[in-house]
Copies of this chain bind each other. A is one copy, B any other.
């Protein structure tokens, strides 16, 4: 798809990239000089959190430079704004894969080198997650509790060299899987460029494609099932993959989270196939098509990859409803996937069951057990439930902001057409359009928040699998940048940055 006519534009793209590199290096040198005299100090928890949070903000801004400086256009005649460039950069690093670019295939709008940079942010984001969050910082409270008993690698008190060894091993697995997948893709018929970009998008559970039709561009069932397999790997715990490499595959199914993860895929795919065939949805004509399309979309949403080979927004309501719910499940802890993670849902279910039991048997003390192992950390249950509460609160507040302030024009309807006066106008068509727009606003806003907060990408309606985020107002895009960041660092490290007591006496 490389057209000579766009040569000048490619040069502008390359210039933008080089300029961005220069700016980054300059900032790096300055920071290094500032930090020189503090070498060897010890980081306290608060400072570590500030470093994680602020680094992410800095990465978003610097990652936006190539888009902004290359003259990329979100559509014919609309050069990308800096907020939109930040959206694209955040979406890449956080491996969300939501985009504001409406046409990826016009070399006059988005240069190829920028397309590559876009996919490369996925690779970097995924690598950062695997090395920083999984290998070095542990995997959040739920993951930590799981790891402590099983893991030969780092624990909270892990020594420096051991941490470095684990980080290296995890990075090697991640890079290795990217290479294997790229080669497989090329053998299955992709170009080298497409193979690399889609391998990055898959292994990071990112979802940026190089085509407007996303993964649907490749109509090969071989490629589809390859991607399904590698999305499942990318959504699995890297600690578990590492242990499986050492001990063999019997290890995999001894892990309760992995078993549940696979179980969800199997059950939901079965449901989607049954309801899809019954309703006669597009892509569900034969059983083999239904299985392929159903499983692809289910795995893509559950692992929070967000690649699409079918427009699930046009499915029946069982399919749409269950995919909306799956968005909040997410991959396994310690994977590159986003979302709330399977293990948290397992624990959430066990905690609720325990609470109901406690209410009528107050004297029976039961410990939380998972995978045959007792969890003694008394704060774990509280932590899990508080995490659900946080996600709920963020979801509700963001949804309400969008519903209140996002103009109707985002839904392709003039503001006047949704005014109250239309109600009393007596024109039934106008009334239907108003009602439909207002309803879509409530629903699509909810799905857009879910899709960005859980780092998935596509949602329902105006942000459906064949749509994009270009139509939203700049304010909404900024909100999404924030939500993608919150989702990726699992809330706390970023949320504290806006908390006034955090900055007091830092």
Q: Within the complex, which residue of B352, B435, B441 is in contact with A393, where a contact is CB–CB below 8 Å?
A: B352
Measured CA separation A461–B281 after assembly (Å): 26
Interface 0/1 of A306-330, CB less than 8 Å to B? 0000000011111011101100000
Q: Within the complex, which residue of B362, B400, B443 is in contact with A439, where a contact is CB–CB below 8 Å?
A: B443
Measured CA separation A432–B502 after assembly (Å): 50
Q: Is the CB of A400 within 8 A of B496?
A: no
Q: Is the CB of A282 within 8 A of B420?
A: yes
- Chain B residues with Cβ below 8 Å from A49 are 359-360
Q: Is A442 an interface residue (CB 8 A)?
A: yes
With A348-B389, A420-B279 in contact, do A356 and B320 touch (Cβ < 8 Å)? no
Q: Is A355 an interface residue (CB 8 A)?
A: yes
Measured CA separation A425–B386 after assembly (Å): 47
Mostly, the A contact residues are: helix
Q: Is the CB of B356 within 8 A of A496?
A: yes
Q: Is the CB of A321 within 8 A of B420?
A: no
- Chain B residues with Cβ below 8 Å from A499 are 356-357, 360
- Chain B residues with Cβ below 8 Å from A219 are none
Q: Is the CB of A420 within 8 A of B276?
A: yes
Q: Within the complex, which residue of B325, B382, B389 is in contact with A400, where a contact is CB–CB below 8 Å?
A: B325
Q: Is the CB of B404 within 8 A of A318?
A: yes
Q: Is the CB of A316 within 8 A of B360?
A: no
Measured CA separation A419–B356 after assembly (Å): 40
- Chain B residues with Cβ below 8 Å from A461 are 439
CB distance from A4 to the nearest CB of B (A): 38
Q: Which residue of B lies closest to A408 (CB)?
A: B317
Q: Is the CB of B386 within 8 A of A315?
A: no
- Chain B residues with Cβ below 8 Å from A193 are none
Interface size class of A (residues with CB under 8 A): 35 or more
Interface 0/1 of A405-426, CB less than 8 Å to B? 0000000000000111101100
Interface 0/1 of A442-479, CB less than 8 Å to B? 11000000000000000001000000000000000000
A-B pairs with beta carbons under 8 Å apart, 29 shown: A45-B360, A276-B420, A315-B420, A316-B418, A316-B438, A317-B403, A317-B404, A320-B438, A321-B399, A324-B442, A351-B386, A355-B390, A356-B495, A356-B496, A356-B499, A357-B499, A357-B501, A360-B496, A361-B501, A381-B382, A382-B385, A389-B389, A392-B392, A432-B432, A432-B436, A435-B436, A436-B436, A439-B439, A439-B440
In order of increasing CB-CB distance, the 8 nearest A-B pairs are A281-B420, A280-B420, A321-B403, A280-B421, A279-B420, A359-B492, A385-B385, A318-B404
